[in-house]
Amino acid sequence: MNARTPAPVHPQVDDGRVRKRRRAASDPHWRHPPRVPPPDFGPPPNLEHDPEFWFEDGSVVLIAQNVGFRVYKRLLAEHSPFFRDLFAIPQPVPAPKVEGCPLVYLSEFAWQFRHFLRALFPTKGNLTFGARQDHLSMDALSTVVRLAHKYQIDQLVAQGLGHLMEYYTDDFAEWTKTDRRTCLDPAPLDAISVINIAHLTNTSSVLPLAFLDVSTAGGALLRGVLRGEPRCFVEGLTVPDLERVFDGRAAMMDYASKAIVRIFQPEPQGYGGCGSSRCQRAFTGKVEELEDLLSLLHSEGMGRCWADEFRNDSGSGWPICERCREMVEKRDVKERKAFWRELPKFFKLEIEGWGV
């Protein structure tokens, strides 16, 4: 039995709109290992039992590369319409078996399918997406979402996407929280996987922050992100998405730099500063530190509270009066909200309901 997948369908994203794909389509950003089963479709001569998923009472053997996973056909069929239909196909007689179990050849790497099974079967390394986790790796999360989408396990897709949407939020208040905690702690290059998954699953709400994060990766973005066990697979972005990153980064930094100047402008305008010489000196001092402020912008982005830059070095007080402090705080919030509303436009994305 052979779990073949249709030819890859590339996402149509040139106009900024993410369009849906066929179910169970291969992800074009996810390469598959060479799969050369023997002529009789029997087990490979060098078949290895997976140490984590070889259940002695299992009823089907799934083969990824040369690794066999002996699991339960009934449970797979209950979760996955894909496997349910596959198992319903009549088999030739006699059909090749391993220890009395029918075989299914898969197109995944062994490490990919192992991550997927951890979300379905209770083992020591189980990933329970439906419960609060202390930490989830992007390797595990992105793999499970991709395979759950391919094998049509909608609940698992929704749980995995929920974790991505929690971190790559579309909520301004969440984005600006200083104590925000999620089960993900991704590196900038991990956003490559998030962008590709968003295209695959039509989850456009995560794209603005994913593009924002990946834009901080610099030239390493062109080399992609390493995935796998061991790290042997490179995942990258499509050319249109690379263009969005580089063009969007330039537009975003131009906008944000001007916003920083507006926040710290010496003349207290707009919200009525006090005009005292003490406060004027403090504002002028910040302008003289503009180079440092822009360096901070490049490293930390617009999400931080810029009004805190007026605090004393000890953090215990302010060198400006309360009236000017309130003015700066209002400027800060105003500029960050304006940046948030413009964020999708920097990367030429159209996200319905963004900023509302």
Which residue type does 273 have?
G
Q: Place 351 in a pLDDT band, splitting at 50, 70 and 90.
A: very high
Lowest-confidence region among 133-147, 168-182, 231-245, 291-305: 291-305
Half-sphere exposure of 97 (CA within 13 A, CB side): 12
Tokens (6 digits) for 21: 């794909």
Across the strands, what pairs with 105? 2, 63
**pLDDT computed for residue 190 by the predictor:** 96
Alpha-carbon distance of 332 to 264, in angstroms, equals: 9
Highest mean pLDDT range out of 106-115, 175-184, 271-280? 106-115
Distances (CA, A) of 200 to 15, 18, 21, 29: 16, 9, 7, 10
- Read off the DSSP letter of residue 26: P
Q: Mean pLDDT throughout 31-40?
A: 48
Q: Give the torsion sign (CA, 211, 213, 217, 218).
A: positive
Q: Output 123 or 257, whichever has higher pLDDT.
A: 257
Instruction: Summarize the confidence of residues 98-118 as an average pLDDT.
Output: 91
Q: Which two tokens stand for residue 115?
A: 């991550």
166 in helix, strand or coil? helix
Q: pLDDT at position 327, please? A: 85
**pLDDT at residue 3, as a whole number:** 54
Question: What pTM was estimated for this model as a whole?
Answer: 0.81
**Average pLDDT over all residues of the chain:** 82
- Counting Cα atoms < 13 Å in the Cβ hemisphere of 134 gives 0
Q: What is the pairing mode between strands 233-235 and 225-227?
A: antiparallel
Q: Which amino acid is at 280?
A: Q
Contact 152, 23 (CB under 8 A): yes
Q: By the 8 A CB rule, do 103 and 41 touch?
A: yes
- Other Cβ atoms closer than 10 A to 110: 19
pLDDT (0 to 100) of residue 23: 45
The secondary structure of residue 7, as a DSSP letter, is P
Residue 248: band (very low, low, confident or very high) from pLDDT cuts 50, 70, 90 = very high
User: pLDDT at residue 72 above 70?
Assistant: yes
d(CA 214, CA 18): 18
Calpha distance 97→305 (Å, rounded): 63
Rounded CA gap, 266 and 280, in Å?
6
Q: Quote the pLDDT of residue 310.
A: 76
Kindly tell me if the per-residue pLDDT of 206 is higher than 90: yes
Question: In this structure, what token pair is assigned to residue 134?
Answer: 């202390």
pLDDT score of 30 more than 60: no
What is the Cα Rg of the chain in Å? 26
pLDDT of residue 298: 80
Q: Please give the pLDDT value at position 328.
A: 85
In the CATH scheme, what is the homologous superfamily, with its name and number, of domain 48-237? Potassium Channel Kv1.1; Chain A (3.30.710.10)
Domain ranges of the chain: 48-237, 245-346
The whole-angstrom distance between residue 109's C-alpha and the CA centroid of its chain comes to: 20
pLDDT surpasses 80 at 241:
yes
> Are residues 276 and 314 in contact, defined by beta-carbon separation less than 8 angstroms?
no
pLDDT of residue 40: 56
SS3 string, 202-259, reads CCHHHHHHHHHHHHHHHHHHHHCEEECCCCCEEECCCHHHHHHHHHHHHHHHHHHHHH
With a pLDDT cut of 70, the percent of the chain lying above it is 80
Ranking 6-10, 200-204, 234-238, 304-308 by mean pLDDT, the lowest is 6-10
pLDDT band at 235 (very low <50, low <70, confident <90, very high): very high
CB 208 within 8 A of CB 354: yes
Res 52 pLDDT > 70? yes
Residue 63 in this model has a pLDDT that exceeds 70: yes
Tokens standing for residue 10: 């590339």
Q: What percent of the chain has pLDDT over 90?
A: 47
Give the pLDDT mean for 288-315. Answer: 76
Query: How far is residue 332 from each of residues 126, 281, 309, 310, 335, measured CA to CA in Å?
Result: 44, 19, 11, 12, 5
Angle at 233 between CA 31 and CA 153, to 5 degrees: 55
**pLDDT recorded at residue 292:** 83
The pLDDT value given to residue 18: 39
Q: Which residue type sits at 61?
A: V
DSSP string, 323-353: HHHHHHHHHHHHHHHHHHHHHHHHTT---TT
Residue 260, CB half-sphere, CA atoms under 13 Å: how many?
A: 28
Q: Considering only the C-alpha atoms of the chain, give the largest distance between any 2 of them, rounded to a whole number of Å.
A: 94
Q: Residue 183's Cα: distance from chain center in Å?
A: 12
Q: What is the pLDDT of residue 318?
A: 63
pLDDT confidence band for 34 (50 / 70 / 90): very low
